[in-house]
Amino acid sequence: MASEDLAGQLPNLYIRQNSSNAVSLEFDPNVNYQFVEILDERYKCTRCHLVLHNPHQTGCGHRFCQYCIVSLRDLNTVSTCPIDNEIIKLQEVFKDNCCKREVLNLQVFCKNSPACAAKLCLGRYQTHEKVDCPNYPWICPYGCMQMILMKEAEDHVLVCPEMEIDCPYKMCGCPKRVKRSKLLEHEDIFLREHMLQIADKNTKLEDQISDLYNSLTYKERKILQLSDMIKNCEREFRQLSQLFCKNSNLLASTQTLAIHIDKNTFLETQLRQLVQKTNQQQSKLDLRTLLDTIDNLKQKVALLESYDQRLVVLEDLATQQDTVFRMHGTQLNKNEERFKILEGASYNGKLIWKIMDYKIKKKQAIEGHNLSLCSQPFYTSHCGYRLSARAYLNGDGSGRGTHVSMYFVVMRGEFDSLLSWPFKQKVTLMLLDQSGRKKHICETFKADPNSSSFKRPEGEMNVASGCPRFVAHSVLENAKNTYIRDDILFLKVMVDLTDLEEL
């Protein structure tokens, strides 16, 4: 009997598995593993004496691999335990998830040891071997069929004859991508086209060089003109300095004026008028008029500087106001999100979860962009447990690629210190039929008090628990069923509130 057949005979309570936030853990039972420490007897199958694979525990307390427990039943009309000869009652057999987690976390060496010095948990052995182990043998995916080691993959890509690369004449206009082994053949076949592309490219480059040369010549002329203008300005300033060198106070005032020339075009105009007036009256210099003009200019400069200082103060105030507005805006957005969550929350232990755009979200899950969806929180009462649901539209664990997986999550709440732990209530997961015939798909389980999934949360939420094979894609997407309508499906979670004390 296959493992799925056994699963069909056992209660739903023993089919569910714990989900993980990453890739589900699993290992191949047919591999001879080298454990870092001697394998403890409690992790060995009672029948085959190998490391337990999908362990099941009997009513007499002994553990078997799932395959071995099935084989025992097939070999005997009445299955008995080989240790104590107790009759194995099917209704007492359950899947030992606690033991399974411990087995999956046992440390083993990589099979490529000592070339690969990695030590890893048994549940991640296959992932390491195919993804992380540098000595894992890898067949080139580009088609050359050469067997190489994972650590040599990057170097192999640089020489693989089947790897498609750009034509060397791409910069000249050839758009072709060809296999490395066919590159010489491509160059021979397209020799004439490549020569024409090179000629066209050269013509364009010559035109660009001509344009650059003309532009350079024009800029050289402009530089010469500017150089002449600078020389004239320097000559005028030297003349001005010679005229004012006899009066130190006047020279200091002129230097102060020169510092502020670049600040205002108006001041530059005034200075040019002053230079013209000085040149015209070299023999009869009226110092009193000149000093009055400079004092007026100083007053104007001081006024402009005061405006600059006021402008800086106003800019600082505007920046502070912008910061305050952004803080208020952020807080308003947070409050709005919180109000939306509180509006949609239920406090009766029931969640109706509407998932829209099923096809798009499943495609995103298949492509690895968004593996799971999380529902809004719901509560067993206003001061009760805070809970939520998680769905993997492309499946998780044993349901990956074939099923929708659905899990139940215990989250950290405001009243956890007043509640009873661990969480012990019965939980029902449902896919709702939208035809009105109420042909809902249901899975019910009672929370395992020994599981870390139902203890008081230390982080934001516990590890989810539920059904990795909740509903098959073939059933969900069958046109004869009405679980999906207008690309929308509804999931429901119900918590049995019986015997649950209210605060």
Q: What is the pLDDT of residue 451?
A: 93
Instruction: Tell me the per-residue pLDDT of 333-368, one tens digit each, with 9 for 90 and over.
Output: 776 666 656 666 889 999 999 999 999 999 999 999
Rounded (5°) CA angle 64-68-69 = 70
Question: The tokens of 127 are what?
Answer: 């992932």
Q: What are phi and psi of 442, to 5 degrees?
A: -130, 145
Between CA 372 and CA 390 the distance in angstroms is 7
Question: Helix 265-280 to helix 287-344 angle, to the nearest 10 degrees?
Answer: 170
Sign of the four-CA dihedral 96, 101, 106, 111: positive
Helix (H) or strand (E) holding 109: strand 107-109
**Alpha carbons within 13 A on the beta-carbon side of 503:** 14
The 10 Å Cβ neighbour count of residue 248 is 9
Average pLDDT over residues 230-234: 78
- The model's pTM is 0.38
Least confident range from 152-166, 407-421, 442-456: namely 152-166
Computed over every residue of the chain, the mean pLDDT equals: 81
Q: Tell me which residue of 351, 355, 440 sits closest to 393, measured CA to CA.
A: 355
β-sheet bridge partners, residue 166 = 177
Q: How confident is the model at residue 3 (pLDDT cuts 50, 70, 90)?
A: very low
Average pLDDT over residues 300-304: 63
Q: Are strands 147-149 and 137-139 parallel, antiparallel or unpaired?
A: antiparallel
What's the gap between Cα 314 and its chain centre?
42
Least confident range from 120-129, 240-249, 445-454: namely 240-249
The 10 Å Cβ neighbour count of residue 150 is 18
First to last CA, the chain: 49
Rounded (5°) CA angle 374-379-380 = 135
Q: How confident is the model at residue 469 (pLDDT cuts 50, 70, 90)?
A: very high
Please say if the pLDDT value at position 4 is more than 70: no
Instruction: Tell me the per-residue pLDDT of 113-125, one tens digit each, with 9 for 90 and over.
Output: 887 888 889 988 8
Q: What is the pLDDT of residue 283?
A: 43
Q: Are 425 and 415 in contact (CB under 8 A)?
A: no
Between CA 414 and CA 408 the distance in angstroms is 19
Q: Are 315 and 322 in contact (CB under 8 A)?
A: no
Please say if the pLDDT value at position 166 is more than 50: yes
Tokens 């206003």 identify what position? 382
Helix (H) or strand (E) holding 426: strand 426-431
Question: The tokens of 206 are what?
Answer: 């010559």
Q: Tell me which residue of 405, 411, 412 sits closest to 390, measured CA to CA.
A: 405
Question: The tokens of 398 are what?
Answer: 């044993």
Between CA 203 and CA 218 the distance in angstroms is 23
How many residues belong to the chain?
A: 503
Question: The tokens of 259 are what?
Answer: 């510092």
Instruction: Tell me the per-residue pLDDT of 37-74, one tens digit each, with 9 for 90 and over.
Output: 999 999 999 999 999 999 999 989 999 999 998 888 88
Least confident range from 48-52, 96-100, 200-204, 307-311: namely 307-311
Q: Are 46 and 80 in contact (CB under 8 A)?
A: no
